[in-house]
Structure 1
Amino acid sequence: MPQPRMMLVVTGDDFGYCPRRNQGIVECFQAGGISNVSLLVNASAAKEATDLAKRHNIPIGLHANLSEGIPVCKSLQQVSTLINQRGFFHGKMGFRQALQKGQLSMKQVELELRAQVMLFREMTGHMPRHMDGHQHVHVLPEVREVFARVLSELQVPYTRVPVETGLRSCPWLPAHLQRFYTQVEKDALDSIPIFTRYGIRWPDVYLGLSTMGQNMSFPNLQRALNLALAAGLSGTNSRSPGSDLPVVTAELMVHPGYPSYPQEGGCGEGPDDFSQSADRQHELNILRQPALLGLYCQKRVQLCSFKDL
């Protein structure tokens, strides 16, 4: 390939969620459809996932989880503001509601984030090169300050800032998703000054909200890629090694896999509906299409991991 116009990290989220997710993610990596994974250390198949990453040399980072399953930090598993009466995290929307009501201890958030980084190191043998948030909890108010401080102090250099060009002009997104994604973007934009102050880095552009599940298609990915390239090339200061040509850095968030079996997987409560649906396999099938891999070559997009940025 000539000098790339874009260095693209394609991150398979939720690695470790269940054996069938792990299987699909490994197959996707081997087919060239993803270049990086993000591990849920409190998930039921996390140990298997780290073994697979080592065996297949898959670049792996941490998918920090404050919303699904059971805390990693032992002192937070019995009584803490982060769990409900059943001992589980409050859930994607429950976490946000508790945060909005001022019911969550940021000290406990910090304890849990640090415990997850340490468990990641124990499981993989190294610190994460990147760390993002399951269900985008890392960009929420108050949490983002704690998150950035933990990354800075533990020297985890990269995170995710989910601000996607063209997201507001996606007619295929239902109203409830458009509302949620718009709020995610607002939270992410508000996180930028904080992440910057702590010296945290992230790619120039982000893709993935408009192409999740059944919304992933070749035309939608092509559209997102074209918008990201245009936005990145107009704003980036990066250069290809040994060249004056600009190179955009980007991350595409994806969720490939095979549908979870009922009662097999998850983070302690079993797999959720999205994980048991056909959406995961749909993403897997699209990501390893020869047409998509051909588009990367045509657009001079080089897949890479965070350690290559």
Structure 2
Amino acid sequence: MKKLLVINADDLGYSVERDKGIIECYKSGVVTSASLMVNGESAQFASHAAKEAGFKIGLHFNITEGKPLSNESEVKSLLNHNGSFISKGELFQRASEKIVDLRKVRLELERQIERFEELMGYLPVHVDGHQHCHILPGIRELFAEVLSEKGIKVTRVPFEKLTPGHPWPDQMIRSFMGEVVNHAVAAREVYKQKGIWCSDGYFGLETMGSDFNSPMTADILIKGINSVFTQLEQAKPSKGYVSCELMTHPGYRTGEVGGCGEGPDSFSQSEDRETEMAVLSSKEFRRVYEEGDIQLVSFLECVQ
């Protein structure tokens, strides 16, 4: 059975440094996909660099960090007192209480898709959500509807079997990741009903650097990816392949300029970003697909 692996780099457009690292990873063949933040400080630079490299990319829909593309007055209920998006924690809470104004979410989603098309000259190959905002109750149904209307056929479902006893730094992050996985289960069914493709498996929640846990290593990636494919094969799918998305956050460390209108965060400035580049490029990790039976593909190759 064929094993297809999509390696997606999140947060393209966050800073020039991040963008240069992601494009380098694409050119060297260690990432096959990327998600662009169109409200990011370097979105213009990133779009030009991606087009120059012939890199077909997707949209990283963002309603949890920085400034909106819509006028503040149009999406005020999604913003804090500084005119920036509310935090991921507050959005998750509001979604669970069903008090998110979905009309405002639709407006911002449509604006971000339009901006992507302006920058890249085509619709996003896929659309996923920054900090997994696209899988929340209410938002996931709206999200699936808009993608279906636009003819966008691919998204992300971050369903990952979390490791018991994984060293999360605190209970809050542990609970957040648990929420993400639970919401992903429901989101998969919503997307399936709308005919939107997502990978059979997913890995990346436990490999996001020291802000969340221990930094990524080749050994962690190899074990995680092999575990996902083993579980998928044991389910004995009727089709002739199984697929997995690996979420990554590579790039050179962001300097003083970056972010989405509020400046760069510690995650982007962490040395873990360059560590991820090194791990993805390492001979140890590349052997998984260069010498094994795992085929590196883009999202486009999965749906064509």
TM-score by length of 1: 0.91
CA distance in 2, matches of 1:273, 1:38: 20
- The aligned residue for residue 249 of structure 2 is 255
Residue 60 of structure 1 and its aligned partner are, at CA, apart by 0.3
Q: Secondary structure at the match of 2:247?
A: strand
Contact 1:81 1:103 in 2 (8 A): no
For 1:237, the aligned partner's letter is S
Say whether 1:13 aligns with 2:13: no
* Residue ranges of structure 2 left out of the alignment (5+ in a row): none
Task: Provide Cα deviations, 1:1-28, integer angstroms capped at 9, x if missing partner.
Answer: xxx7311110000000000100111111
Task: Provide Cα deviations, 1:172-204, integer angstroms capped at 9, x if missing partner.
Answer: 333433322111000111112211221111011
CA distance in 1, matches of 2:220, 2:75: 45
Q: In the TM superposition, what are the counterparts of 1:151-170 in structure 2 within 5 Å?
A: 151-165=147-161, 167-169=162-164
CA distance in 1, matches of 2:299, 2:200: 12
Task: Provide Cα deviations, 1:22-65, integer angstroms capped at 9, x if missing partner.
Answer: 01111111222211100000001001111111111112001000
CA distance in 2, matches of 1:212, 1:170: 16
- The aligned residue for residue 273 of structure 2 is 280
- The aligned residue for residue 141 of structure 1 is 137
Q: Secondary structure at the match of 2:191?
A: helix
CA distance in 1, matches of 2:165, 2:223: 10
CA distance in 2, matches of 1:229, 1:79: 41
CA distance in 2, matches of 1:64, 1:169: 30
Say whether 1:28 aligns with 2:21: no
For 2:88, the aligned partner's letter is K
Cα distance change of structure 1 residues 29 and 170 upon mapping to structure 2, 3 Å threshold? farther
Contact 1:77 1:87 in 2 (8 A): no
Task: Provide Cα deviations, 1:123-143, integer angstroms capped at 9, x if missing partner.
Answer: 100011211000000001111
For 1:196, the aligned partner's letter is K
- The aligned residue for residue 269 of structure 1 is 262
CA distance in 1, matches of 2:121, 2:112: 14
Task: Provide Cα deviations, 1:136-174, integer angstroms capped at 9, x if missing partner.
Answer: 000011111111111111111011000113x13353333
For 1:7, the aligned partner's letter is L
Say whether 1:209 aligns with 2:205: yes
- The aligned residue for residue 220 of structure 2 is 220
Q: Report the RMSD for the aligned CA atoms in angstroms.
A: 1.6
CA distance in 1, matches of 2:75, 2:69: 13
- The aligned residue for residue 174 of structure 1 is 169
Q: In the TM superposition, what are the counterparts of 1:26-105 in structure 2 within 5 Å?
A: 26-74=23-71, 76-77=72-73, 80-105=76-101
Residue 288 of structure 1 and its aligned partner are, at CA, apart by 0.7
* Residue ranges of structure 1 left out of the alignment (5+ in a row): 240-246
Identity %: 38
Q: Secondary structure at the match of 1:215?
A: coil
Equivalent in 180, 191, 197 of residue 195 of structure 1: 191
CA distance in 1, matches of 2:5, 2:54: 18
Contact 1:170 1:210 in 2 (8 A): no
Residue 302 of structure 1 and its aligned partner are, at CA, apart by 1.4
Residue 77 of structure 1 and its aligned partner are, at CA, apart by 4.9
- Equivalent pairs counted in the alignment come to 296
- The aligned residue for residue 182 of structure 2 is 186
Q: Secondary structure at the match of 1:132?
A: strand
- The aligned residue for residue 307 of structure 1 is 300
- The aligned residue for residue 239 of structure 2 is 238
Contact 1:89 1:95 in 2 (8 A): no
Task: Provide Cα deviations, 1:86-135, integer angstroms capped at 9, x if missing partner.
Answer: 11001222322343454421001011111111111111000112110000
Q: Secondary structure at the match of 2:163?
A: helix
Equivalent in 123, 126, 129 of residue 130 of structure 1: 126
TM-score by length of 2: 0.92
For 1:261, the aligned partner's letter is G
Contact 1:5 1:299 in 2 (8 A): no
